[in-house]
Amino acid sequence: PKYVYDFTEGHKDLKDLLGGKGANLAEMTNLGLPVPPGFTISTDACRAYLSAGAAPEGLREQVSAHLAALEEKMGRKLGDPTDPLLVSVRSGAKFSMPGMMETVLNIGLSDVSVSGLAAVAGDERFAWDSYRRLIQMFGKTVLDIDGEHFEEALEAAKRAKNATSDVDLDASDLALLVDAYKAIVREQAGRDFPQDPREQMDLAINAVFHSWNTERAKLYRRQERIPHDLGTAVNVCSMVFGNLGADSGTGVAFTRDPATGHSGVYGDYLANAQGEDVVAGIRNTLSLEQLEQLDKASYDELMRIMKVLEGHYRDLCDIEFTIERGKLWMLQTRVGKRTAAAAFLIAANLVDEGVITPDEAIERVSGAQLAQLMFPQFDLTGKPNRVAKGMNASPGAAVGKAVFDSYTAVKWSRSGERVILIRRETNPDDLGGMIAAQGILTSRGGKTSHAAVVARGMGKTCVCGAEELDVDTKARRLTAPGGVVVEEGDVISIDGSSGAIYLGEVPVAPSPVVEYFEGRLGADSARAGELVRSVHRIMTWADEKRALYVRANADTPDDAARARRFGAQGIGLCRTEHMFLGERRALVERLILAEDDSERQKVLAELLPMQRDDFVGILTAMGGLPVTVRLLDPPLHEFLPDLTELSVRVAVAEARGEDNESDLRLLQAVHKLHEQNPMLGLRGVRLGLVVPGLFIMQVRAIAEAAAQVAKAGGVARVEIMVPLVGAVQELEIIRDEARAVLDEVTETTGADIRALIGTMIELPRAALTAGQIAEAAEFFSFGTNDLTQTTWGFSRDDVEAAFFSAYLDRGIFGVSPFETLDRDGVGRLVSLAAGEGRKTRPALKLGVCGEHGGDPESVHFFHDAGLDYVSCSPFRVPVARLEAARAAV
Ligand code: PEP
Ligand code: MG
């Protein structure tokens, strides 16, 4: 197989094969831009090398042939004693992994060729400087020597000369430094620095292959979700020199400002320097304006090339260049990374400039970038004191006084304090405190723990699973590594985008993009600014493009109203369990304890008007858009006191000889309802089937609320959803009971109640028998949280902390299946159920309401699977709108 490609043989679309750098070097070569000649060893060769542990057959010969051609073209031989050709060996994967992999410059220099180079260049200092750089880079990257040793030797050389900068060292200083470096190599690597240029080159190539699998490279890929099996290409390029004196230098440049997105070139230049010197910050760099003063001809040429590149790539490009004695060379280009804000601005500007279409603009931005723009951010310029790091569960920047229980959170916030609720983990009891708090911090639980899911739903900042923290809720204090203690009332700051936890108050800047989505900042207003205007325009194009509807998961009129402002086209999941908490809890307790039907009916009759008001509020807020109400789902014991706490209370009362009749009864009930696996127990439709009257009361509340809204002149479109169905029979029973109630309410009120009855698909059996279930369901909503839990057999509440990091490390999956839908497994069930369901009932409405509904990658899957809508937390609605459009482009 062919492993090696000359720069003239490739082009920019061969990134899989040649890596980003190689593909773009080829593209520039073919555009006629001044690229030093060279060749690229493909990622195929890297993969073959990594799997066999040795260079694949034929690679050496192909490299020899391409090297010979290069030598021919350059009229010099690699490492020739009198006039050496020197090359660089640089890594370059498909996706850029800045600083993760290796580069070796000046290959071909040796004790003899260094004199040849000095003679040809007419510059002793330059030759020795290049040689010492080679040994340094080779030592670090190929021979794995700690860079500190070389740094120390360089510092010592500077000290000996009283020099402040490396340019103050002369040829003889640098020759001495070369000796010192060679000694370091001998000592640290147990071998001499290789004098054979070809051996240098081959070892460097292998080192680049190896660098694909260093720990930091793996970690980087995991974070950036880059697959581990791509491998890197290797670029061998003839050297040009920026360290040939004052008329030489090296720099980086951007065709637009990557931080703001503003038009106009931007860059840094360093005279008499090579390679990483610019980024390493060893000397102060010059601006491009200063380069213009210094070397007008090179500057003009650079401007011309940047124009060519932007026009050709039709996007912001970044560039590495070198000037060798007044001649400009291009060493790299690529479509440049940019901040989220710059991405939106550039995309909108390029449409205005007539360079790209609105569809392309949608592709140039991402939901993740939009999400970043929506969260307030900490201003870290003051270098705040970071005490620990947890998981970035729900983005945002929150500051407040530490409180360790929900009650205090509510009380303090009522008196105007901002608080951060800190718990080991949260449960439904903490809801009040979570609502009152600016942010939530837990020391246990993963990204789908209660705290994380609820916080995301509320758009509230949350850092969870900060295991380095010892949270002592009784003592109202937490202890961080290094013995740092935070007591109740101490101010802390938590960053839900990074997971960082800071001591004290870190300043925060609000997001204008959220103000815009909330309708508090018009896109045309003077205050809006170019970023908001760009977001507005791109979102308008996105809404025209997308096929998926986007709904929100919302349980309160406030959430519903916000979701609508964010562009939700309905509610895809209204969880009713939150309507059974707070003051109503006592009623629910009575319902569970009811010994006979009349007591049960009494309680249900008390709950009915409350539920009805809840639904009136939500239906009114949604003004005629569809609202999916899910009947009660969680296991009943969640509404009862904790078993251990209650047992203690009963025992204490007993010991004191106090009357504890009601606690005793409660304890009995708790015992009776106690389950080993409550998530697989008495919940969802099973509750509806065994607790008489419960679901019927809820359906009646929905029907009466719809009638009331209709009577008041509004439109109510409800979709009644039955959770945790596994068999069509379960659904049929509930459906028949519900229909009867709907008919009855329609009859007695005379109102036009438009209600669909459908089900969640959140168990494998439901997916597998979707064809049957569709007989009884007017819609399906995929509950991908439970469907993931039951398909993998992973408990959604425990699993992440326990072993997900090991699974991620070992590559079993690249991202938690609770975060991004597992296409191969869970996704297959979704597709199967969608297909079978529609076979039975072609008009079947299909949606998803699990957390995946707001995850960008998963949204693309749901688009491809032909669903009608996704539903996600209100704050993710804009992200889902954008990603749905990107999926449709
Ligand atoms: C689901 O299981 O995906 C779902 C939306 O329901 P819940 O998260 O309330 O179990
Ligand atoms: Mg569920």
Sequence spans of domains, the chain:
4-238, 249-335, 376-510, 546-635+675-888
The protein residue whose alpha carbon is closest to atom 6 in ligand 1 is 783
Q: What pLDDT does residue 457 have? A: 65
Residue matched to tokens 């995991």: 222
435-493: pLDDT as tens digits: 899 999 999 877 656 787 778 767 689 998 898 999 999 999 999 998 999 999 999 99
CATH of the domain spanning 4-238? 3.30.1490.20
pLDDT of residue 168: 87
Selecting among 462, 849, 860, 872, the annotated active-site residue is: 849
| Alpha helices in 10-122, H assignment, sequence order | 15-30, 43-52, 59-74, 113-121
Residue 716 has pLDDT above 70, yes or no: yes
Region class of 365: left (phi > 0), else alpha (psi between -120 and 50), else beta = beta
**Is residue 498 predicted with pLDDT exceeding 90?**
no
What is the model's pLDDT at position 762? 97
pLDDT digits (tens, 9 = 90+) for 391-400: 888 878 999 9
618 CA from centroid of ligand 1 (Å): 20
pLDDT (average), residues 383-411: 91
Residue matched to tokens 């938590």: 494
Q: Among the listed ranges 519-523, 578-582, 645-649, 753-757, which one has the minimum average pLDDT value? A: 578-582
Q: Is 762 a pocket residue for ligand 1 (Cβ < 6 Å)?
A: yes
The C-alpha atoms of residue 499 and residue 442 are separated, in whole angstroms, by: 11
Tell me which of 210, 450, 536, 860 is the catalytic residue. Answer: 450
What are the φ/ψ torsions at residue 426 (nearest 5 degrees)? -110, 165
pLDDT of residue 223: 62
Q: What is the pLDDT of residue 541?
A: 98
Judge if the beta carbon of residue 488 lies within 6 A of ligand 1. Answer: no
Fold classification of 376-510 is: Glucose Oxidase; domain 1 (3.50.30)
**Residue 85 DSSP SS3:** strand
Task: Report, as an integer, the average pLDDT of 598-609.
Answer: 94
- Is 783 annotated for ligand binding? yes
Longest dimension (CA), the chain: 106
pLDDT of residue 278: 65
Q: What is the residue whose two structure tokens read 């400009």?
A: 328
Using CA atoms, how far apart are residues 441 and 840, in angstroms rounded to an integer? 47
Q: Give the pLDDT score at 273.
A: 87
Nearest CA to ligand 1 atom 9: 575
185 lines ligand 1 (CB under 6 A): no
Across the range 639-655, mean pLDDT stands at: 87
CATH no. of 249-335: 3.30.470.20
Alpha-carbon span 442 to 436, nearest angstrom: 16
Residue 785 CB less than 6 A away from ligand 1: yes
Tokens of 398: 């929150």
Nearest atom of ligand 1 to the alpha carbon of 786: 2
Q: pLDDT tens-digit profile of 617-644?
A: 999 999 999 999 999 998 888 888 888 8
> Residue 196: its pLDDT value, please?
97
* Strands ordered across the beta sheet of 484-487: 470-472, 477-480, 484-487
Q: What is the pLDDT of residue 152?
A: 93
Assess whether 852 carries a catalytic annotation: no
Atom nearest to 782 CA in ligand 1: 3
Using DSSP bridges, classify how beta strands 717-722 and 754-761 pair: parallel, antiparallel or unpaired: parallel
Q: Which helix (H) or strand (E) holds 517?
A: helix 512-517
Distance 791 CA to ligand 1 centre (A): 14
The predicted-structure confidence for 327-352, as pLDDT tens digits, reads as follows: 999 999 999 888 888 999 999 999 99
Q: Which ligand is nearest to the CA of 573?
A: 1
557 pLDDT band, cuts 50/70/90, is very high
pLDDT of residue 244: 86
Matching residue, tokens 């060292």: 169
In the predicted model, what is the mean pLDDT of the chain? 92
Is the CB of residue 850 below 6 angstroms from any atom belonging to ligand 1? Answer: yes
Distance CA 126, CA 488 (A): 62
Q: Is the pLDDT of residue 799 over 80?
A: no
Contact 330, 318 (CB under 8 A): no
Report pLDDT digits (tens) over 446-460.
Answer: 765 678 777 876 768
The residue that leads in pLDDT, 496 or 631, is: 631
Q: What mean pLDDT is predicted for residues 98-122?
A: 89
Q: How far is CA 600 from CA 254, 589, 591, 593, 865, in A?
A: 71, 11, 6, 9, 44
Q: What is the pLDDT of residue 140?
A: 92
Note the pLDDT of residue 391. Answer: 85
- % pLDDT > 90, the chain: 71
Pocket test for ligand 1, best of 633, 721, 830 (most atoms within 8 A of CB): 633
Greater confidence (576 vs 661) lies with 576
User: What is the arithmetic mean of pLDDT over 841-856?
Assistant: 97
Q: State the distance from the centre of ligand 1 to the C-alpha of 785, rounded, in angstroms.
A: 5
Ligand approaching nearest to the C-alpha of 725? 2
Task: Grade residue 510 by pLDDT with cuts at 50, 70 and 90.
Answer: confident
CB of 786 sitting under 6 A from ligand 1: yes
Pairing of strands 77-78, 84-85: parallel
* 578-611 exposure pattern, b = at least 16 Cβ within 10 A, e = fewer: bbbeeebeebbbebbbbeeeeebeebbeebbeeb
Instruction: Please report the pLDDT score of residue 216 as a whole number.
Output: 74
Q: 873: which 2 tokens? A: 């937390």
The verdict on the CB of residue 413 being under 6 Å from ligand 1 is no
Q: What is the mean pLDDT of residues 275-291?
A: 74
Assigned token pair, 695: 């679901």
Q: Is the CB of 849 under 6 A from ligand 1?
A: yes
Pocket test for ligand 1, best of 575, 787, 818 (most atoms within 8 A of CB): 575
Consult the annotation and say whether 47 binds a ligand: no
Q: Whose CA is nearest to atom 10 of ligand 1?
A: 786
Decide whether any atom of ligand 1 lies within 6 Å of the 573 Cβ: yes
Share of the chain above pLDDT 70, in %: 97
| Distance, CA of 645 to CA of 91 (rounded, Å) | 60
Tell me which of 159-173, 274-288, 394-408 is least confident: 274-288
Which spans in 329-463 are helix H? 340-352, 358-363, 367-374, 406-414, 431-436, 450-458
If 0-12 CB within 10 Å is exposed, 13-18 middle and 19+ buried, where does residue 275 land? buried
- Tally of CA atoms within 13 A in the half-sphere of 806 that contains its CB: 4
Cα angle 859-862-868, degrees, rounded to a multiple of 5? 110
Instruction: Look at ligand 1, atom 3, and give the residue with the nearest C-alpha.
Output: 783
For residue 149, what pLDDT is reported?
A: 94
Q: Which of 119, 814, 311, 877 is nearest to 542 (CA)?
A: 877
Contact 553, 572 (CB under 8 A): yes
Compute the distance between CA of residue 844 and CA of residue 162 in angstroms, rounded to an integer: 81
**What is the position in ligand 1's atom list of the atom closest to the CA of 852?**
3
* Closest ligand 1 atom, residue 762 Cα: 2
Residue 279 clears pLDDT 70, i.e. is over it: no
Residue 778, judged by CB atoms within 10 A of its CB (0-12, 13-18, 19+), counts as: middle
- Beta bridge partners, 616, equal none
Write out the E strands in 431-553. Answer: 439-442, 461-464, 470-472, 477-480, 484-487, 491-495, 500-503, 508-509, 549-553
Q: Report the C-alpha dihedral over residues 555, 758, 718, 704, rounded to 10 degrees.
A: -90
List the end-to-end C-alpha distance of the chain, in Å, as a whole number. 36
Residue 421 parent element (H or E): strand 419-423
CA torsion angle 358 364 368 374 (round to 10): -50
CATH topology of domain 546-635+675-888: TIM Barrel (3.20.20)
- The pairs formed by 254-257 with CB atoms below 8 angstroms and a separation of 24 or more are 254/316, 254/317, 254/318, 254/319, 254/336, 255/306, 255/307, 255/309, 255/310, 255/316, 255/317, 255/318, 255/319, 255/336, 256/310, 256/316, 256/342, 256/346, 257/342
What residues pair up with 422 in beta bridges, in sequence order?
A: 441
Helical spans, DSSP H, in 122-270: 124-141, 147-161, 171-189, 197-211, 215-224
849 is catalytic: yes
CA separation for the pair 88, 236 (Å, rounded): 6
393 exposed, middle or buried (CB, 10 Å; 0-12, 13-18, 19+)? Answer: buried
Looking at the CA of 576, name the nearest ligand: 1
Closest listed ligand to the CA of 577: 1
| Band of pLDDT at residue 228, cut at 50, 70 and 90 | confident
pLDDT at 105: 93
pTM assigned to the model: 0.81
Beta carbons within 8 Å of 598's beta carbon, 6+ residues apart: none
Over residues 757-797, the pLDDT tens digits come to 999 999 999 999 999 999 999 999 999 999 999 999 998 88
Per-residue pLDDT at 280 exceeds 70: no
Q: What is the length of the chain? A: 889
| The pLDDT of residue 108 | 97
- Return the sign of the alpha-carbon dihedral for residues 539, 543, 544, 547: positive
Q: What single-letter DSSP state applies at residue 735?
A: H
Pocket test for ligand 1, best of 687, 780, 849, 855 (most atoms within 8 A of CB): 849
Q: Work out the angle at residue 119's Cα, subtended by the Cα atoms of residues 116 and 123, and round it to the nearest 5 degrees.
A: 120
Which pLDDT tens digit goes with each residue over 307-330? Answer: 999 999 999 999 999 999 999 999
Q: Is 760:723 a contact under the CB 8 Å cutoff?
A: yes
The predicted structure's pLDDT at residue 803: 83
Residues with CB under 5 Å of ion ligand 2 are: 762, 783, 786
* Strand ordering across the sheet containing 263-271: 286-287, 263-271, 249-256, 317-324, 327-335
Pocket test for ligand 1, best of 551, 629, 722, 760 (most atoms within 8 A of CB): 760
